[in-house]
Amino acid sequence: MDRERLAKPESYGNDRVFAYLRLESAPDRAQDAAVEAIEKAGQPVVHIAVQEPYAIGEEFFRWEIATAVAGSIIGINAFNQPDVRSQQDRNAETHKRV
C-alpha cells in the first residue's frame, strides 16, 4: 500500500508478495532497510526501480496487464466486478477451510 509503513517481518504470513517501487532519483534509506528486513525474513519481494515519479504510471499499466492475464488464466474477467466478487468469495471460503 502506498505510504503504508511496513510492519515487523514476523507480523506477515506467507500469503503475500511485496512489490517495492524504488524511486532511484530520491531513494529512501529507511524504506530500503525495512524492505531488506522483510526480504531477509523470507518474504518474496519484487524490486522495481523507477527513475522518476512519472514512470510509476508505466508500472500501473504493467500491473493492470498482469492482473488481466492472471485473471484469464484462472477463468475470471478481472475487469468485470461480478466475476471478481465471485472469485473473492470462493477464495474466502477456501481460506476458512485451511
Query: Do residues 69 and 41 lie in contact, with contact meaning Cβ atoms separated by under 8 Å?
Result: no
Query: Across the chain, what does the average pLDDT equal?
Result: 87
Q: 58-98 pLDDT, tens per residue?
A: 999 998 999 899 989 988 887 777 766 777 888 888 878 76
Query: Do residues 59 and 67 lie in contact, with contact meaning Cβ atoms separated by under 8 Å?
Result: no
Task: Provide mean pLDDT across the span 28-43.
Answer: 94
Q: Is 44 helix (H, G, I), strand (E, B) or coil?
A: coil
Task: Detail the DSSP E strand segments found in 1-98.
Answer: 18-23, 45-50
pTM given for the model: 0.65
pLDDT of residue 83: 67
Alpha-carbon distances, residue 7 vs 25, 34, 59, 93 (angstroms): 25, 9, 24, 27
